[in-house]
Structure 1
């Protein structure tokens, strides 16, 4: 089977904590060739055989990054969270190496701001993002929640009572609430794209997109 070119890049993952190892193993599963780096010999050793290549090295040291030939990687992920200093130094070394697409984990707003200023292309704050997601899920109305920077979200939710037994065209969710039902999933069936003729049943799951506050308004309906 031919490789999927979307996932056919050499990736360098620095730091094999929870975030780094999750990124590394998923990148490997998708088809990337992953080289993982951690300064802890025991931790690095534990991933030998599970990733394309594992190196015990301190990426905060420019000489170590040079030995890794970091400039040859198309993508890099910095998952260091235990030391902001080590994260910043490692990230700066990867920027200096000219890697064209660098992702890094930040643990504080200040950490995120400095990573951006030194040239990291994508900064993620998984703890913050997870906390926001959990807050939206706690009311029990939403089954999943993804929010974007511009106040736009995509959610999975149970259908409001007023939509059950009607088609999307009949219930007029978009005109009433300003959100779009992207798709519908019935138990035991595959996801299907929504059309005006799609009829909603009580056991369905709706995939809805739109402004966050408008989605919350729809989700508050019985």
Structure 2
């Protein structure tokens, strides 16, 4: 797909094809979402030019963004993080163009505060989020960990031994631990929504939601 074929009112503008930006752009494409990437490094442009609709440009230059029609995009992602100056300039340019949704990568709390102050609608901290997520996973039975907001969290985990062979009603998980088992996946079978009659096997996977501290307690049961 060429740049001219990208529908700017539905596509996502991804600026910066480092590890974060490239992974995001490739995943969006895989999910069927149109993407236009912007990258100033000629080596990265060459690496990705046959895989993504791509423009070689310096997005910290407001004129360059206007020339590629950035103001027509509804969503833009600033994947530049290692250069604070470039990240701030690019985000400010997108704010000036009144992009409805601006997502920006930050590498520190201070960086994130600056991005929000100049008008970024969403700030993400990939390195911090990945580190926190892995910390929860290596410390117990958790196999995946997604913290939403205000402490509400969803995890994929192995069941504690005390629940093996019992139905959810008999195990009394919600009353004992304050968490909710949403779904159960027996080995070789698809996930199914949990009911009070769902029986937990020792090799099952559980999808459990609740407050992060309560989930930690439940995941650390014997």
Provide the residue aligned with 1:35 in structure 2: 36
Deviations 1:74-108 (A, max 9, x none): 21111002201101100111111111111110001
Q: CA deviation at 1:71?
A: 0.9
1:45 and 1:54 in contact (8 A); partners too: no
Could you list the per-position Cα deviations for residues 149-181 of structure 1 after superposition, in whole angstroms to 9, with x for gaps in the alignment? 311111111111111111101111000100000
SS in 2 for 1:156: strand
Pairing 1:105-116 to 2, within 5 Å after superposition? 105-116=105-116
Q: What residue in structure 2 maps to residue 150 of structure 1?
A: 150
- Normalising to structure 2: TM-score of the pair? 0.93
| Structure 1 segments unaligned to the other structure (5+ residues) | 1-7
Q: Which runs of 5+ in 2 are unaligned?
A: 1-8
1:199 aligns with 2:203: no
CA RMSD after TM alignment: 1.1
Aligned residue pairs total 214
- Whether the 8 Å CA contact 1:77–1:102 is kept in 2: the answer is yes
Aligned to 2:171: 171
- Paired with 1:185 and 1:210, the residues of 2 have a C-alpha distance of 19
SS in 1 for 2:188: coil
Does 2:54 correspond to 1:48?
no
Deviation at 1:9, TM superposition (A): 2.0
Structure 1 position 41, deviation (Å): 1.5
The alignment partner of 2:203 has SS state of coil
Task: Give the TM-score normalised by structure 1.
Answer: 0.93
1:42 positional shift: 2.0
| Structure 1 residue aligned with 2:3 | none
Give the deviation of 1:43 after TM superposition.
1.0
